Amino acid sequence: MKVTVNKEIVKKTNVIWGKDEVTDCAMEEFAEAIQAVSKVRRFPKDKRTYENLNDEIADVLIAIEALEDLGLIDAESVQQFIDFKQNRQKARNTNKEMLLAAKAGK
């Protein structure tokens, strides 16, 4: 996802509000995103659920920048985890495809 979060605003927000408030906010935003995903699944015909999901994902992305600015997460380490997990998922996908093909008698 290519989006832009203004890091200067994040930095100033962290200075003004402090680590406890910002991390509390991050937890709340992650929880709101979970709920928004659930609402999209439960009410797929309601266009407001998709708008709300975009809204909450924006909050999550800002919160992630805030956690990075606080020094709680590190982009290089996160990238390493992403690479590891995506390689693992790639193998799982291959296994699942083979299972599904076998089940379908292919």
Where b means 16+ CB within 10 Å and e means fewer, 82-98 reads eeeeeeeeeeeeeeeee
Could you tell me the CA-to-CA distances from 52 to 1, 56, 60, 65, 104 in Å, in that order?
Answer: 17, 6, 12, 20, 38
Residue (35 or 93) nearer to Mg ion, CB? 35
How near is the Cβ of 59 to Mg ion at its closest, in Å?
Answer: 4
How near is the Cβ of 17 to Mg ion at its closest, in Å?
Answer: 15
Q: Which of 13, 14, 59, 62 binds Mg ion (CB under 5 A)?
A: 59
How near is the Cβ of 15 to Mg ion at its closest, in Å?
Answer: 21
Rule CB under 5 A: is residue 69 a binding residue for Mg ion? no
In the complex, the residues that contact Mg ion under the rule CB under 5 A are 29, 32, 56, 59
